[in-house]
Chains A and B, each alone.
Chain A
Amino acid sequence: MTGHIHPITIVSQKIADYLAPYGFEVVTGPEIVTTEENFDSLNIPANHPARQEFDTFYLKDGRTLRAHMTSLYLRTMKDRQPPVRLLFPGRCYRNEATDSTHNMIFHQMDGLVIDEKTNLSNLVATLEGLLKELIGPDLKFRIRSSYFPFTEPSIELDIQRSGGKWLEMLGAGMVNPKVIEYYGLDSEKYQGFAFGMGLERILNVASGVDDVRHNLSGDYRYLGQF
């Protein structure tokens, strides 16, 4: 007799399992974060248009709910020195309309590597290996240039679906030197990569889950399938 682990927990664990041999530590942290953690430390100053893209939930006391797991980087790096290989799974919040592909509460897994030599080629190799493990070995990938304030260069990684259409899976890039300097590190010496992926998107592609809202529905007909 067994119960069921929530599918988001399963995906999170499978990612941690895949990356464990590479020495990644899985980090947990609060859902309420400061605007410094959510934005300032990630090269998103107060007047930056990118800040508006996150549809942030603000609390009465001025703090925010984390809009992305990247907001845990700063507090984590405060008591660590490179080399670091870190994973950040957790619940994120954005004040946006809900439909079958969006929910105001969703889950992400972020990864952060900082050392003296990790490069963009290491990033892409890591992500392609991870997605093949989660979704299937025969995936075809496409990388597009993109923009995130906290990475430079920034990329988005797409996979090819049946019929040839490309589907965006995640955003990633080399940690922006300004972010590395925000941690008090020498950006000439240290470099590394960061990525963030939506766990609901993984479930959609790998299992065919047709509505992200199932994940917070509590419906046993959903939970019981995993």
Chain B
Amino acid sequence: MKITFSQFQAALINFEWSQPELADKLSAIGFETEVSGDTLDITLTSNRKDCQDKKYLFFDLAGIYNLSLKENSVDTTTDREIPVTLARINKLLGTNFTDTEYRHIESLGFVVKEDAVAVPAFRVDITTAADIAEEVIRLHGFDRLQLEPLAKQSPAESTEYDYLQTIKFALCTAGWTETATYSFAAVGDVKFKNPFRAEEPYLRSTLKEGLLQTLAKNPFMKRAKFFELGSVFNPDESIKLGLIFSGYKDSAAVADQLSQILGQSINLQSVEAVAAARFEAKQGSIFWTEISCTNLELPVAAKPVAITAPLPAFTPISKYPPLVRDVTVTSSIDDCQEAITRARETFSQLLLAEIIDEYTNPTSNEQSTTLRFIFQKMDGSFTQKEIEELSSQLTSFLN
């Protein structure tokens, strides 16, 4: 709904706001408003159809902000009563409005009675005591709320949520990365009436395709381990855990690791080259599995997980391909962590630096650690010369 600023000026007498001030005032009372030149673009909520006629909007604005209308043709005849008391309103809002303050809603055409409020016929949106409470707080402003937090209580049990979170965090600790993928598929058991894309008219019946797409999204990672925990529909809805990895020579060792984390034997399946190629996953030696989450007997008790660190600042991702270097060094984890910290200070184009693998030789007891460095350029692809220089600098840095 568009109304010019001059129309407001013409309708209201003691009107002294600027356009942005008027927009703020309207937004505060439920009429979300944007200023565009001399025009105010007002989004009416679906319960305030009455204000499609401007005179009701002007009447509402005048009543709430104690302005006068130059001409008032609004018929405020009431046609029904809603049982409500001031005590009920204060209980809903957490306020201490006085009777005099309560009666201010009469400026909007309401009539306050002993245990009820009579409602003007044009306010078809007002049907309950809660609606009256909203009018009171709209009129007096939300800064009248006496903010009081909820009382603390004993923590509640969140059995299934804690169980699923425990699985996620256990996999993360073991070097797996959680992905989340789209739920739509070209084939499946549950069909849309109104699909987002005609090519994907079904809900997914497996997590496999999304996991393959995740690998395909990261062609720069030869070695990768991803999982997704999400709903599949075949045709009944259930939560499944899908895992996919590539580039690990000893897939049996990965299966053993998963079995220990998940408390059941894991049968891995090799992803055939044809299927991988269909999703343009360029990695070799891809394995995956999908298991039901309902009957896992986790070796550790599912318990609430707490994250104390603040959310990190996001670094924008370049649209150009990254330069990735996985480097194995014979250093301890602690030394490598220190190298990662220094690398972040040294290389301005470094997006990510992290430890992706560690190994202790059982004979020599020598520790080796694999570090991954991901560099990116925001304004173009790396040239061959830049790649060679960066690789050389990285080698010098690690030595």
Contacts and interface: CB of A to CB of B under 8 A. Distances in A.
Interface of A: 1-11, 13-14, 16-17, 20-28, 30-32, 48-50, 53, 57-60, 65, 85, 87, 89, 91, 93, 95, 104-105, 113, 117-122, 124-126, 128-129, 134, 142-147, 149, 152-155, 174, 176-178, 187, 191, 202-203, 206-210, 214-226
B129 A177 contact: yes
B164 interface: yes
A1 B192 contact: no
Interface string B154-196: 1111101110110011011111111111110000001111101
Given A9-B165, A11-B311, A95-B194, A147 B142 contact: no
Contact of A145 (B30, B224, B231): B30
B303 to A, nearest CB: 12
A162 to B, nearest CB: 15
B46 A221 contact: no
Contacts of B93: 119-121, 153
Which of B138, B161, B165, B225: most chain A Cβ within 10 A? B161
Nearest to A22: B150
Contacts of A117: 91
A223 B134 contact: no
Interface residues of B, number: 101
Contacts of A50: 46
Given A25-B157, A220-B218, A30 B94 contact: no
A59 B130 contact: no
Contacts of A144: 27-30, 32
Given A13-B305, A220-B218, A191 B92 contact: yes
Given A17-B307, A134-B311, A208-B314, 14 more contacts: A21-B155, A25-B156, A120-B95, A124-B142, A143-B142, A144-B30, A146-B45, A147-B46, A153-B93, A153-B134, A174-B130, A218-B179, A221-B376, A225-B314
B317 interface: yes
Contacts of B91: 117, 119, 191
A208 B145 contact: no
B352 A225 contact: yes
A100 to B, nearest CB: 12
B224 A210 contact: no
Contact of B175 (A3, A26, A222): A3
Contact of A121 (B131, B148, B218, B312): B148
Given A30-B231, A49-B46, A178-B128, A119 B191 contact: no
B196 A104 contact: yes
Given A105-B183, A120-B92, A218-B214, A10 B307 contact: yes
Contacts of A209: 314
A53 B161 contact: no
9 contacts: A5-B168, A6-B179, A9-B165, A16-B158, A17-B307, A31-B183, A59-B203, A95-B194, A121-B148
